[in-house]
Structure 1
């Protein structure tokens, strides 16, 4: 075998091993498929969310902003509300799929519906970039407590 063939084979094996490792690291109970909401009534929470024992200072400030500007649609503690908006404590919103910057853009410009059937999200007035930074910290800490990295 020549060196190039060995190199390509080694890279392919390492890539396959990385994929298998990452699949084993996925949290249980969370899939990219939205939860079955057929048994929920409009306004019911969509996800069960475990709360951290303590939030960081940034996340605690973000919770105040989230409660004021986001909870009416996304539910208390980002559980989502049937018929209104999706849960943000869901694998779809993990950092590797929706970066922190995607939250800034969503607040500033709104979001066209693409994962859920709730319709488009309008822009959110009255939030600064610093406010959104705290909201993202809050959501990320909720996600981490619920096995979403």
Structure 2
């Protein structure tokens, strides 16, 4: 009897573990992004983006469904969100206004020089994907 209960308990624990892990699947990207050949400054921006931004905004700024918006999107074209908006977002954070992901917190670890490189990278991605 103890053996049967032990096996049943183990089966329940394993099943619960699989069920819990199934809810933690990798989030899907929101847009397909073509990555162009990048200049040296844009490559530095790509590295900074990967280190500081990709957790929410996805690899190559493609967004993460349920986590953060894509920056390679018409909403972030330069005529709507100029370069200065990226500096403000890094310094002060951003209240959610285009998407329902919630507010973006300030990123005090990112310097203005870092933001300039990140913006160069994002703009290169946008141009390569038809966003001017």
> Above 0.5 in TM-score?
yes
- Number of residue pairs matched? 108
Distance 1:117 1:42 in 2: 19
Distance 2:28 2:93 in 1: 23
Question: Which runs of at least 4 in structure 1 moved beyond 4 Å after TM superposition?
Answer: none
Distance 2:49 2:109 in 1: 12
Distance 2:26 2:87 in 1: 27
Residue 113 of structure 2, aligned match among 130, 133, 136 = 130
Distance 1:42 1:116 in 2: 20
Gap regions ≥5 residues in structure 1: 1-40
- 1:43 has 2:44 as partner: no
**Bigger Rg, structure 1 or 2:** 2
Q: Is the 8 A contact 1:108 1:124 kept in 2?
A: yes
Aligned to 1:107: 90
| TM-score of the superposed pair, with normalisation by structure 1 | 0.70
RMSD: 1.1
**Structure 1, residues 83-106: CA drift from partner, whole Å, max 9, x if none?**
111000000000000000000000
Q: How does 1:1-149 map to 2 (within 5 A)?
A: 43-52=27-36, 54-149=37-132
Distance 2:129 2:47 in 1: 20
Q: How far did 1:125 drift?
A: 2.5
Q: Is the 8 A contact 1:107 1:124 kept in 2?
A: yes
Gap regions ≥5 residues in structure 2: 1-24
By percentage of residues, which structure has more helix? 2
The 3-state SS of whatever aligns with 2:81 is: coil
| TM-score of the superposed pair, with normalisation by structure 2 | 0.79
